Amino acid sequence: PPSVSEGAIHIIQGGTVMKEYTLTPFQQQKNIQVTVPGSKSITNRALLLAALAKGTTTLQGVLFSDDSRVFMEALKSLGYTLSIQEEEKCVQITSPGEKIPLAQASVYVGSAGTAARFLTAMLALSGGQYEVTSSEQMKGRPMKPLLLALEQLGVEFEYREAPYHFPFYIKGRQEKEVERVDLNIDESSQFLSALLISLGAYAGESVIRVEGTHGMAYIDMTVRMMEQFGIK
């Protein structure tokens, strides 16, 4: 959190000043209006939830970033209809609901961690078959805990290069029984958010046994957004 003193803002992490910004006060009072940008974390969760919701969903206050653009392009490659109005910060997504429009497709997730984790869970639990590729940078980022959990649920992966890393081919699972799965989130809470949203949409009652407490504030965000879309 920033602290303000003597005309400067200090960005402090772990007791160490990471950055310092010098401020120059206005010489007279001014009325200033600003628009706060949207949230990348909320935007990408909303994109996934909208894709899984039947009908047309309108998202307002969307943050257009590299990650969200990759996510939108991935949804297009899966056959979803998107109406994007970037200046208005608005996206409309039309979805058939449980079924992904294209049961077979190639999807690129770039370097977007949320898109990589969220879309992998969505595709794996949909029952379709998909080729998923990424940037070189994303190939080195953690995916194994999520992929192990999906394997417990009956998903099959064919790894094109290193095991439990991108790129891979997904053969989605078919059954939709009560789910129980173990998941470690020490490396990323995105693993749990990905499973929560996709299991909430595709399965009936599900139980996820979680090891680790990394990023639990993001899990609270995920749960609140799921509730807004009607998932208990």
Q: What is the pLDDT of residues 113-165, one digit of tens each?
A: 999 999 999 999 998 999 999 999 999 999 999 999 999 999 999 999 999 99
What is the strand order of the sheet 8-13 is part of?
Answer: 2-5, 8-13, 16-22
H or E segment at 68?
Answer: helix 66-77
Q: Is the pLDDT of residue 8 over 70?
A: no
Q: Scan for tokens 């049961």, then name that residue.
A: 103
Q: Is the pLDDT of residue 209 over 70?
A: yes
| DSSP 8-class letter at 207 | E
Per-residue pLDDT reduced to its tens digit, 52-85? 999 999 999 999 999 999 999 999 999 999 999 9
Q: Is the pLDDT of residue 5 over 60?
A: no
Contact 41, 48 (CB under 8 A): no
Per-residue pLDDT reduced to its tens digit, 9-59? 777 777 777 777 777 777 788 888 888 888 999 999 999 999 999 999 999
> Residue 177: its pLDDT value, please?
67
Distance set, CA 4 to CA 23, 122, 130 (Å): 10, 43, 50
pLDDT band, very low/low/confident/very high, at 166 (cuts 50, 70, 90): very high
> Residue 195: its pLDDT value, please?
96
Residue of 33 and 223 predicted with greater confidence: 223
Length of the chain: 232
Closest CA to 48 of 140, 116, 150: 116
> Residue 158: its pLDDT value, please?
97
Closest CA to 101 of 134, 171, 58, 52: 52
> Residue 178: its pLDDT value, please?
63
Residue of 164 and 176 predicted with greater confidence: 164
The predicted model gives 211-224 an average pLDDT of 94
CA 22/CA 9 separation, integer angstroms: 7
Q: Is the pLDDT of residue 1 over 60?
A: no
Sign of the torsion angle spanned by Cα atoms 127, 138, 69, 145:
positive
Contact 168, 159 (CB under 8 A): yes
Closest CA to 47 of 66, 74, 22, 29: 74
Q: Is the pLDDT of residue 4 over 60?
A: no
Closest CA to 124 of 176, 173, 78: 173
